[in-house]
Amino acid sequence: MEIQAIHIREENQEIAEKWGLEDGQVVIMIHSGSRAWGGMMGPKYTKDFKAAMNKWGVGTPDPNLVFAPIDSDQGQQYINLMQSALNFAVVNRHMLAYGVREGFKEVFGSDFEAPVLYDLMHNYALKEFHRNQPMMVHRKGTTRALPAGHFLNTEAYKETGHPALIPGSMGTSSYIMVGAKGGEKNFYSICHGAGRVRSRRATKELITIDEFAESMKVGTDEEVLVNQRTLQSILDECPQAYKDVDQIIDSIEGAGLASVVAECKPLAVIKGV
C-alpha cells in the first residue's frame, strides 16, 4: 500500500476531472493479489500440464512452456481454480482498502471518505471478444486498458475508458493511465509495472543497504517511510531491482497503447506485512 501525491497530465485534465482526480490530491494505491493461493497453482499445474502433454504426445520448443486445451479436464480445473484465486484477490484488496480507510478515519475523523477509483487484475486469463471472435486472453504481468467507447467498459467508464493502474517500485512514481484505440493491436493490454531487471537473489547479492537507502532518500527531508525495522528485510524489493518505470511508460505511450492521466509520487509505503 502506498500513500501518493498525484500530478495530473495537462492533456488528460478532462478525464481526470471525470474520475474525481485533481492536481496535488493524495491517493492510496494498493497492489496485491491472492498471495499464496495463486502462487500454489503455478507449480502444481505446470507439473500436471506436463504430465498431460506427455500422455497426449505433444510438446513445445521450450519445456517450460506448457498448455492444456480449455475443454480438457486439466484446462477446466485450472480455469476454475484461477477464478477462485481472482475472487480471493479482489476480496483481499478490498479488505486492505477497508483497513486503510479505517486507519485514516482514526486520524481525520469519521467523516473521512476514500471512494474506490478502480480495481483491476494483473495476472489472469479471461474470455473476451476480439477481432470478431471469442478468445481466451492470458495476461501475465500485464493489465487491461480499454479506451473510451469500448463495449467491454462498465457504464461509469464508457465515455472516458477505464483507469489502468501501473505501480512503480518503492521510491519511484506509479501511474494512472487510460487506454488508447491503438491498443486494439495488443488486445488492449499494457504492462502492469516496470518489471524486474534482476531476480530477488541477484538483487540481494549485487545491491548494498547503503545503495538501497540512497535510492529512497532515507534520512533526508524527502524520505520515503517504510514499515520495516531494517531495509535488509525488503532489499529484494528495492528500486534497483526494477526497470526504469518512466522509460516503460514512455514506451507504452510511444506505442499508442495508452496515455498518462496522473503521475503518483510515493509519500509512504507499507510493504511485506
- Pick out the residues of the known binding site for GMP: 122-123, 167-170, 174, 192-195, 271
- Spell 241-271 as b/e; 16+ CB within 10 A means b: bbbebeebbeebeeeebbbbbbbbebeebbe
- Enumerate the known binding-site residues: 31, 122-123, 167-170, 174, 192-195, 271
The sign of the CA dihedral 75, 69, 140, 120 is negative
Contact yes or no for 259/12 (Cβ under 8 A)? yes
Pairing of strands 189-191, 225-226: unpaired
- Enumerate the known binding-site residues for Mn(2+): 31, 122
Q: Is 94 considered catalytic here? A: no
Query: Grid coordinates standing for 263?
Result: 503521475
The CA distance from 162 to 15, in Å, is 10
Residues with Cβ within 8 Å of 74's Cβ and at least 6 positions away in sequence, in order, are 45, 48, 49, 52, 68
Catalytic residue among 7, 94, 150, 192: 192
Which alpha helices (DSSP H) does the chain contain, by range?
A: 13-18, 36-56, 73-108, 200-206, 209-216, 245-254
Backbone angles phi, psi at 51, to 5 degrees: -65, -40
Contact yes or no for 3/28 (Cβ under 8 A)? yes
**How many CB atoms are closer than 10 A to CB 238?**
22
The residues annotated with a catalytic role in the active site are 192
